[in-house]
Structure 1
Amino acid sequence: MAAIRNVAVAGASGNLGSHVLKALLQANFNVTVLTRSQKPGSYDAKITVAEVDFTSTNSLTSALQNQDAVVSTVGIAGLEGQKILIDAAIAAGVQRFIPSDFGVCTTSPKVLGFPFYSTLATVRQYLADKAATSTLSYTVVAPGSFLEYLLMAPSVVDFKNHSVALIDDGNNRFSTTTLANVGTAIAGIFNNPEKTRNRVVYVSEAILTQRQVLDIAKEIKSKITWTISNIKSSDVLREGLDAVASGDNSLQAVGKILLGTAFGGEEYGSAYDSNDNILVGIEAISQQKLKDLIAERFN
């Protein structure tokens, strides 16, 4: 497989996309940002910016000429539309496609029929089918929970109100990775195209539990009295599924589905005891850095 040097990024202005963009530039890839409308000064001068119509295969194919790879970091609204981007990548002769499928247990067979997860599964299958009949290959990145989001979520630990609802007693394990290191992992994938071809790459900067996060918080602020309750992951999941079934497609309803599965522990394979950290250049987070990040939540 030829070396990957030219990379196009869709969704580069988003929270994850901006970190991916930075990591690719630091790794000396030639980066093109795909955007609906170019705003002067939005990107570094060494970045090529291509205005595209994400609903047009022709527009995207034109923009992807001479690109070796595509990274999609689009949000929920753009997930289904990735099929058009995949078709354009094939038409343009792109070698590698990374879909927007960054999560804790998105590839678990047990979640494939759930709302949100089913959309990801459909896109993954579409990508795999196309890869089987073309020169395009793919990599799905499984980084666990984004560590920054994890520490900001009151449903995990509510630092503001000093309360926590422990899911399954707070002992279920889950992998987590910082946004910056998701970007680093993607650069590592492109530097190892054969070893990451047509498979899921697992990245795990740390394996944590709710109780571990709470214990560190207690260590940092020992005088705080915490309000602790207990809930079951199966109940949280059921609440989300029932809400969506009744027509509630809000982020709150979908969020319960994600919470009930991502924090379901071994049931959904949320902790990556076996991972690809070494291959893509990721080191485990130090205890001190983790403690520092948790301490910031009190500020």
Structure 2
Amino acid sequence: MPHTIKNVALAGASGNVGARVLTALLDLGFNVTVLTRTAKPFPTAARVEVVDFTSVESLSAALVGQDAVIDTTFSPEVETPLRLIDAAAEAGVYRFITSDFGLDPELPGIHDMPVFGRKKVSYEAVKKQAAQNRLTYTLVACGAFLDWSLSTGFMGLDFQGKKASIYGDGNNVVPWSTLEDVGTATANILLHPEETLNRPVYVHSVYMSQNQIFDATKAVLGSEGWEVKHNNMEPLLAQAMTDLKTGNISAATFEVQIQYCLATKALAHPWAKDDNPLLALQEWDLEKVKALIKSIAQKSN
């Protein structure tokens, strides 16, 4: 019997991904309950419920009557997603979407990276619950966040300073998705519960290499005056692993692991299976990418 999903609980709705997922869910007419630690304003169409994220009992009580739970929380600790998964199973929730939103979880080596440890634990937990017929699950593989990576410097492009930090040779073509596209795809999973049953879905806004994005940036901002640095990712990864072991941890410790993956074809490459058509996404053309770069560059001035 096909399942119809109408009532959706969303955790992490104030975050970068969660806010876009919330908008997309409301646009599609779902009944949304936002799970939050403290009372805060959300769109009036959403129901807001304050819960204790340290308590499976509190979470489970809040999830009674929900058809789906979407976890968009982001933090290093693993207890919150595990409690959400346990609570969803106890409450009889049909579909759980984990807070993955990254590279292909089926690729050997991805979830072995410490930065993806939380995602690995969540994936193993939902698979275990699904094997016991307590819930079903979906993961969203979207590559790296295109707009976020450009605006935060994670891409390695400094628009104001005209500096480019290239990871490896910069030629590895990988999936990039905007936060809005990720939100759209995630919400649309719930319109296709059978087609997305117990598997990762694979979406993207563009397939591009870092060099191709840099070329697009130069086309927008001018090709003169750029300072370019090429990074050998192997020693950078080794240093990040050492820093983890010694406790000398910074944001770069985790960023380098992701950047290493994006520079390595065995760990990041265009999807063999592409769910864009199923989940209502259209691939961007180069002009749209340039327009995004121009918009972000203007805001950084």
The TM-score, its normalising length taken from structure 2, stands at 0.93
Is residue 243 of structure 2 the alignment partner of residue 243 of structure 1?
yes
Q: Deviations over 1:24-83 (max 9, x none)?
A: 0001111000011113xx122221111111111111111101100000000114543211
Q: How far apart in 2 are the matches of 1:37 and 1:154? A: 31
Aligned 8 A contact 2:12 2:73 in 1: yes
Shift of 1:161: 1.4
Is residue 181 of structure 2 the alignment partner of residue 178 of structure 1?
no
Is residue 117 of structure 2 the alignment partner of residue 118 of structure 1?
yes
The equivalent residue for 1:57 is: 56
The amino acid across from 1:252 in the alignment is A
Shift of 1:223: 5.5
The equivalent residue for 1:202 is: 202
RMSD: 1.6
Q: How far apart in 2 are the matches of 1:195 and 1:166? A: 38
Q: Which moved more, 1:3-12 or 1:43-52?
A: 43-52
Q: Which residues in structure 2 correspond to 1:103-114 (within 5 Å)?
A: 103-114=102-113
Cα 1:15–1:63 shift into 2, 3 Å: same
Q: How far apart in 2 are the matches of 1:223 and 1:58? A: 58
Q: Deviations over 1:205-261 (max 9, x none)?
A: 101111111111211222631111212232332221122122123222111111111
Q: How far apart in 1 are the matches of 2:112 and 2:297? A: 38
The TM-score, its normalising length taken from structure 1, stands at 0.94
| Same amino acid, percent of matched pairs | 36
The equivalent residue for 2:275 is: 276
Q: How far apart in 2 are the matches of 1:84 and 1:221? A: 47
Q: Which residues in structure 2 correspond to 1:255-294 (within 5 Å)?
A: 255-264=255-264, 266-294=265-293
Shift of 1:105: 4.3
Q: Deviations over 1:238-285 (max 9, x none)?
A: 221122122123222111111111232x22034325311011111001
The equivalent residue for 2:159 is: 159
Q: How far apart in 2 are the matches of 1:73 and 1:263? A: 26
Q: How far apart in 2 are the matches of 1:5 and 1:106? A: 27
Q: How far apart in 2 are the matches of 1:294 and 1:24? A: 27
The amino acid across from 1:46 in the alignment is A
Q: How far apart in 2 are the matches of 1:106 and 1:159? A: 32
Q: Deviations over 1:178-198 (max 9, x none)?
A: 111111111211010011010
Q: How far apart in 2 are the matches of 1:282 and 1:248? A: 41
Structure 1 SS opposite 2:166: strand
Unpaired stretches in structure 1, ≥5 consecutive residues:
none
Aligned 8 A contact 2:76 2:118 in 1: no
Structure 1 SS opposite 2:79: coil
Q: How far apart in 2 are the matches of 1:189 and 1:239? A: 39
Q: Which residues in structure 2 correspond to 1:79-228 (within 5 Å)?
A: 79-155=78-154, 156-222=156-222, 224-228=224-228
